[in-house]
Structure 1
């Protein structure tokens, strides 16, 4: 690589052993995979959007280093919430010292805490609610149905949120993804705030549940995408664990075993950043080799696991890939 950036040079000079070396190996493996013409799925668990991963992840999307995303409903909406309500967020550095009364006080102020950061309910959740509700109603009236992320894309690209923008658009990964119409898989969307809001409208008889396409339809959407894009292989870069990772990785055994498409290739690269340790029954802490037994990875698939904090590791790997 010519003209390496300062961060890349720092990483290559000092990240030589243990988790640091795994970080470098994983970054180089990701880079090699793209050089071969492979595509890459990135999964986002936890609250990576509230951690403002968009500041660097959006550039990964713009530079075509990400080809499909799997994320929780929280990550889908929280990037947009940060876009429209950033100045209203409250940081609580001493969150470890909060008493139950302190937590109750935050609730009464409409501040929902995610570790050291509080999301403002009125400015974030409610600011989006009226706009997304209109899209749901309009779709239902027209007899149309969309996946959860498609409604978010429509809202972003319509311009209805522009008056609220509080950060630079280039720092929103959802906006970067919407501009490219990047495929997104959002399993378990129903447990997000927007999913809860949608469910409340269904319970009140204002909307039909079928207006939002289901998780099964996300799996079939992913299956078609995987089949159409696997000619040169597809890699899997997993940030955290949980459903954002487990749901999409299962598309391979589903196609191979259940659909009996025996020519379906395995994922050709795998990396997981996780602070979860191997334990009885833990998916997030399972070593990559366990995935071989489930028909997800091949014997020779390059496998990396970085046991560390994703909010620290992921930006460094992305910086390496962007040659910053």
Structure 2
């Protein structure tokens, strides 16, 4: 490097260094002036706090919650007291769900991961959402659907002490999911129910997981009526309301294990994942062509990906012009920096085509336990919105698949 260049570069550095000093001096002077002004106001006993011209970062609503007195509704508690941190994100999630996702033109998909139904979330939260028309289609782990079935069969689950020794529980014939305890016979009775219904002639074919769960729901409706118990199974509720329920990994649950066992007897019930991939894509394509698509994610895992991959299936694989889901709401305890899908943020989903980039500002991620967030979200939504007309997407599967096939063929001529 030439000496002249070096001097010039050094001069630039010196100039920049000098500018930095000037900026710091200016900032210090401004703060000093602000300090003196504040002292003068205090000396005069100013009754009104004066703030400087609003910075764009100071335009948010002031944190000024009302005192909790025990008379608040959930809606009031969320709107008035959930101000910041993850309570603030839960408030934003509730508002996104009710104000944008529950419009008549929006189709809402719900994904379920983690042991939610054993904790009673199926009865307390998911069934009310289904019956109110607030959930149009579902992707769940098979385990959630298996444990949901216990309640539809009149079998009991109990609160327990999570510190109890598993060895002691094993000796007592008790199974647990953290602090949910139940008798080992609950598993055996539920297995027996599934094996009995899956042996029926209507199951002896290849089908999507939505068809499989719809048939199971039909038998659970009958069992609930026979037992004279109130509506407790989300599979039964989905059957009544025409809500298709898919599972992203049919073999990864006790339901799938029983299907596999019957195959050893010569049973011909086959759950076809190809149908699931295309049917879920057809639901999203229909939603986008007639309005908007929203995904509400409880947890993460495989159901989250299965719901979001509908857009890459439409765009990347089938070659159909599309832009991504409109609304993304996730409740999770997973971190984004470990690379797992459960913690992946909506911003990361844009590059995959999963989320419409224009709608990214509406996305909400709440880092919270789903067993806390889902009942609050449900109560808030039911308190704010009237029920929507049921879309009954299960009954329209053939129509939706026909549209997907037409657009696929047109895009690949």
TM-score normalized by structure 2? 0.69
- Residues 323, 355 of structure 2: 8 Å contact kept: no
1:172 aligns with 2:233: yes
Match of 2:119, SS state, is: coil
The CA distance in 2 between the partners of 1:70 and 1:144, in whole Å, is 19
1:258 aligns with 2:322: no
- Residues 323, 353 of structure 2: 8 Å contact kept: no
1:155 aligns with 2:219: yes
Match of 1:312, SS state, is: helix
Q: Which of 72, 80, 84 lines up with 2:149 in the alignment? A: 80
Please state how far the C-alpha of 1:162 moved relative to its aligned partner: 4.0
Task: State the match for 1:184 in structure 2.
Answer: 245
Structure 1 gaps of 5+ residues are: none
- Residues 115, 144 of structure 2: 8 Å contact kept: yes
Please state how far the C-alpha of 1:126 moved relative to its aligned partner: 2.6
The CA distance in 1 between the partners of 2:383 and 2:160, in whole Å, is 33
- Residues 83, 165 of structure 1: 8 Å contact kept: no
Which segment is superposed worse, 289-298 or 33-42? 33-42
Please state how far the C-alpha of 1:195 moved relative to its aligned partner: 1.1
Please state how far the C-alpha of 1:48 moved relative to its aligned partner: 0.8
Task: Note closer, same or farther for the CA distance 1:36–1:132 as it changes in structure 2 (3 Å cut).
Answer: closer
- Residues 131, 160 of structure 1: 8 Å contact kept: no
Task: Note closer, same or farther for the CA distance 1:195–1:144 as it changes in structure 2 (3 Å cut).
Answer: closer
Task: Note closer, same or farther for the CA distance 1:111–1:278 as it changes in structure 2 (3 Å cut).
Answer: same
1:317 aligns with 2:380: no
Task: Note closer, same or farther for the CA distance 1:127–1:143 as it changes in structure 2 (3 Å cut).
Answer: same
Match of 2:83, SS state, is: coil
TM-score normalized by structure 1? 0.87
Task: Note closer, same or farther for the CA distance 1:127–1:162 as it changes in structure 2 (3 Å cut).
Answer: farther
For this pair of structures, how many residues does the alignment match? 306
Task: State the match for 1:137 in structure 2.
Answer: 199
TM-align CA RMSD: 2.2
Task: Note closer, same or farther for the CA distance 1:48–1:287 as it changes in structure 2 (3 Å cut).
Answer: same
- Residues 295, 307 of structure 2: 8 Å contact kept: no
Q: Which of 302, 308, 327 lines up with 1:243 in the alignment? A: 302
1:90 aligns with 2:158: yes
- Residues 44, 75 of structure 1: 8 Å contact kept: yes
Please give the residue correspondences for 1:150-299 in structure 2 after superposition, counting only pairs within 5 Å.
Answer: 150-157=214-221, 159-164=222-227, 168-169=230-231, 171-202=232-263, 204-208=264-268, 211-230=269-288, 231-262=290-321, 264-299=322-357
- Residues 332, 366 of structure 2: 8 Å contact kept: yes
Task: State the match for 2:181 in structure 1.
Answer: 118
Structure 2 gaps of 5+ residues are: 1-71, 385-413
The C-alpha deviation readout for 1:145-164, integer Å capped at 9, x for no partner, is: 4533123223223x145445
State which structure, 1 or 2, has the greater radius of gyration over its C-alpha atoms: 2
Please state how far the C-alpha of 1:16 moved relative to its aligned partner: 1.0
- Residues 79, 174 of structure 1: 8 Å contact kept: yes
Please state how far the C-alpha of 1:35 moved relative to its aligned partner: 2.2
Please state how far the C-alpha of 1:74 moved relative to its aligned partner: 0.8
1:45 aligns with 2:113: yes
Please state how far the C-alpha of 1:142 moved relative to its aligned partner: 5.9
- Residues 131, 155 of structure 1: 8 Å contact kept: no
| Higher RCO, Cα 8 Å, sep 6+ | 1
Match of 2:251, SS state, is: helix
Please state how far the C-alpha of 1:129 moved relative to its aligned partner: 3.0
Match of 1:35, SS state, is: coil
The CA distance in 2 between the partners of 1:221 and 1:265, in whole Å, is 19
